[in-house]
Amino acid sequence: MSTIFLVLVIVLAFLAISDLIVGVSNDAVNFLNSALGSKAFNFKIIMFIAALGILFGATFSSGMMEVARKGIFHPQYFYFSEIIILFMAVMITDVILLDLFNTFGMPTSTTVSIVFELLGAAVGLALIKVINDPNALTMAEYINSGKAIAIILGILGSVGIAFTGGAIIQYFSRLLFSFNYKPKLKYFGAIWGGLAITAITYFILVKGAKGAAFMTSDTKDFIKDNSFLIMMGSFVIWTIVLQLILMIWKIDILKIIVLVGTFALAMAFSGNDLVNFIGVPLAGYESYKVWVASGMPAENLLMEGLAGKVATPTIFLLIAGIIMAVTLYLSKKAKSVTETEISLGRQEEGFERFGSSALSRSLVRGFSKIGKQFNSVMSPSIRAGINKQFDRTQFQAQQAALGKDAPAFDLLRASVILSVASIIISIATNYKLPLSTTYVTFMVAMGASLADGAWGRESAVYRITGVLSVIGGWFLTAFFAFTASFILVYIFYYGSYYAIFAMVIIAGFIIFRTHVLHKKREETKILDEDEYEMEVKQIISIDDIRKKNLKTWKKSNEIVHSILNASIDGLAEENLLLLSKNYKKFNKYNVHIKTLEGDLNKVIGKLEDHDLEAGNNYTLNLYYLMEINHTLRHIAWDSFYHVDNNHKPLLDIQVNELKDAIADTLFIFNNYVQRLSIEKFEDYETLHIDCVAKLRKYRKNQIKRIQKKEVGTRNSVLFLSIIAHLRSIINFTKRVQVIETNFLAEHEHIEK
C-alpha cells in the first residue's frame, strides 16, 4: 500500500511540473503585457527580467502555501487516504482546464481555478463522508467557509478595485504628462518614477518579506522596524539615479520604470500565484511524510499535521521558479494569450477580435450620456486644457511612421499598469489572500485603456464586449473547476487507484491533443505577408497597390473555389460534417477580410497625396471582396442549415444545375484573377452575359418544378437563394473588372 501512495505523490510532482508549464503559459500575460505592448525593450531583455522576477518571487511564496493545505478545508477532519484523492482530483482538473484555456488563447485565472477546484473536491469528499459515515461531522465543519468566502470576495472585489485604480492613476498621469510626455519628464519624470518604484519596493520588500523562506527572523524584524527609513532612502536613491540617467545618458526613464515594473510584477505573480501550481502537490508531499512517520494505516490517520504551520523548503520554490522561467521562453501558447489582452488595450483602431453585444452598446451609450453631462457643467477653459493633454495627434503620427514596429500603447501607460498591478497584488500577498493576478492585471490594463482614450467611439463597444467575454470566461472557470473536481473526487473515491491512473492517462492524451490543435491553428492562420511588408514602408506606391490587390484576389480565388465546391458536394451527399468544416473555413477567411477592412485607413494613409486613384482602386477592390464574402457566408450557412435540419435533399437535376452554375461562376472568377495578373481584361462582357443567361434558365426550371409541385418550400428557398448569390458573385466580379480596366487605362495615360 505504501508503494501506491509513493507513486501517487510522484504523480502529483509530475502534475505540478505540468501545471507550472500550462499555468505560466496562461499567466505570462500578467507580467509581459505592458512591456511587450509598449515595446520598451526587445523580447529577450523583457523575458530575462521577467525570469529574474519569477525566480526571486518564488522564494517569497512560502507563506502562501498554507492556502492549499488549510485555506479552503479543514485537513484535520480528513484521513490521509482521502486527502490524497482530493489532491489528485484538484491537480488533474487544473492541468486540463488551464491547458484548454491556453489552447484557445483566453486568459483565465489560475487562482480562481485552484480555489474552486479545492472547494469542489472538498465539498464532494465531505458529502461522501456525511452520506456514508453516521458519525460524520456536518458539511460546514469540513469546509473552512470563513476563509473560503474571504478569498472569493477578495477575488471578486479585486476586479472593481483594479479597474478603478488603473483608470484613476492613468487619467491623472496622462493629465500631468500628456501623450507628448518627454518634455515634462525632464522636470517631473525622476520624481514620478522614484515614487512609482518606491511604492513597488515598499509593498514587495517590506510587506512581502514575511513570506520569504530565505530570510531569518532578525532580517525580517530589521526590515519591519526600519521600513520608513528604507522607503525614504529608496525614494531619494531612485529619484537621483533616474535623474542622472535622464541627464547623462538621455535615456527615456519610463523604460527603466517599465523594466523595474516588469520585474516587480513577475515577482509579485510568482510570490502570490506559485501556490496555484505547486501548493497542492507540496501539501500532498507533506501529507505523505506525516503518514510515513506515523506508522498508521492510511484510512485511520487524520491529517492534523497539515493544520499547523509547515515551512516550505526553499529548494522546491527555486526549482518551481526555474521551470516557470524556462517555460516563458519556450511556450507558444503564452503568446496566444498575451495577444488577447494587448489587442483589447491597444491605442490604435483597426480590426477588432470581438463583436458587439447589447450590454456593451448599452454601457457605451450610458457612459457617453454621463460624459456629455459632465462636460456641460465644466468650464470651457478647463475642458480645453484637458483636451490638450489628451491630444493624440503627435502620438498617432509617430505610430504611423513606425508602421509594423509601432507599440500598442506608450510607455507612460505601461508604467502605470505595472506599478498599480504590482502594488495591489503585493498587498494581497501580505494578507495571504491568493488574489488573482489575471483579474488584477487585466482589469488594471483595461481601466488604464479606458482612461487613456483607447476606447473611442470606433472601438468601445467591441473592446467592452471583449472584456465582458474574458470576465465571463473567469466565471466559467469557477463553475467548471468546482464541477469537474467534485465529479473526479467521486470517481476516484469509488473507482480507487485504477480510476486515478486512468484519468492521468486521459489527461495526458487531452494535453497532447490540445497541443496538436493549437499547432494546427497557428499553422493555418491566414496571414497576409504583403500587409506587413507594406506597413514597414512609410509610402505605398501604385505598384504596391497592384501587388496587394493581386495577392488578395488570388487568396480569395482559392477560398471561393473551396467554399462553393464543398457546399454543393455537401448538399448532394447530405454530408453534415463536410458542410460544418466548410462553414468554419469560411469563418477563418472572414477574419482575414475583416482584418483588411480594419486596416483600410492604415494602407490608404501611406499613399502619396496625388495617388487618389490608387486609393480609390484599393477601396473598391476591397469593397467588392467584402460583398463577395457576404454571398459566400449565405451559401455556406444555408447549405449547412438545410442539411442540419434534415430537410429533403435536392433533386439530382438540381444538383447538376447548381454544379454547372458554380463551375461557370468559378471560371469567371478565376478568369478575372488571371487577367489581373497580366493586366489585360478582354471578353469579360460575353462571359458575363452567357453565365447570367444560364442562371436565368435554371431559375425558370425551378419555377416550373414549383408549379408542378415537384419540390417543397425549403427546397425552393435554398435553390433560388444559391442561384441569386452566384449571380451576385458574377456581377461583383464584372464590376471590379470594369474598375480595373479604367484604372489600368488611366495609369497608362499618366505614365505616357
pLDDT in tens, 291-316: 988 888 888 888 887 766 656 677 77
pLDDT tens by residue, 328-347: 777 665 555 555 555 655 65
Lowest mean pLDDT, pick from 574-578, 673-677, 692-696: 673-677
The 10s digit of each residue's pLDDT in 66-115 is 565 666 888 888 888 898 999 899 889 988 887 777 666 666 777 778 88
Round to whole Å and give the CA distance between 78 and 419: 42
Question: Measuring CA to CA, how many Å separate 255 from each of 42, 419, 434, 501?
Answer: 11, 13, 30, 49
Among 153-162, 283-292, 508-517, 631-640, name the most confident range.
631-640
Q: Taking Cα atoms as reference points, which of 1, 12, 504 lies closest to residue 287?
A: 12
Q: Is the pLDDT of residue 659 over 90?
A: yes
Model confidence at 189: pLDDT above 70: yes
- Domain covering 529-751 in this structure, CATH number: 1.20.58.220
Per-residue pLDDT at 627 exceeds 80? yes
Given a cut of 50, whether residue 530 has pLDDT beyond it is no
Binning pLDDT at 50, 70 and 90, where does residue 400 land? low
Residue 99 and residue 510 in contact, taking contact as beta carbons nearer than 8 Å: yes
For residue 440 the three cell numbers come to: 488584477
The structural domains of the chain, with segments of one domain joined by +, span 2-181+251-523, 529-751
Q: What 3-state class would DSSP assign to 302?
A: strand
pLDDT score, position 12: 85
pLDDT of residue 533: 47
Alpha helices in 537-651 (DSSP H): 542-573, 576-598, 600-604, 612-644
pLDDT tier, 482 (very low <50, low <70, confident <90, very high otherwise): very high
pLDDT given at position 531: 47
* Grid cell 491533443 in the structure block, residue: 513
Which pLDDT belongs to residue 663? 92
Q: Which has more pLDDT, 22 or 552?
A: 552
Mean pLDDT of the chain: 80
pLDDT 10s digits, 349-377:
555 656 667 777 777 777 777 777 877 78
Q: Binning pLDDT at 50, 70 and 90, where does residue 726 land?
A: very high
Coil, helix or strand for 681? Answer: coil
Instruction: Over range 547-556, report the average pLDDT.
Output: 86
Record the cell numbers describing residue 86, joined without a space.
482530493
pLDDT at residue 529 is higher than 50: no
The larger pLDDT score, comparing residue 596 to residue 632, is at: 632
- pLDDT, residue 314, reads 72
Residue indicated by cell numbers 525614494: 235
Distance of CA 314 to the CA centre of its chain: 33
% of the chain with per-residue pLDDT over 90: 16
Of the candidates 51, 612, 30, the residue with the CA atom closest to the CA atom of residue 318: 51
Q: Would you say residue 631 has pLDDT above 90?
A: yes
CA atoms within 13 A on the CB side of 72: 32
Q: Cβ(49)–Cβ(259) under 8 Å?
A: yes
Given pLDDT bands bounded at 50, 70 and 90, which one contains residue 526? very low
> What's the pLDDT at 486?
95
Q: Taking the alpha carbons of 546, 551, 555, 557 in that order, is the dihedral positive or negative? A: positive
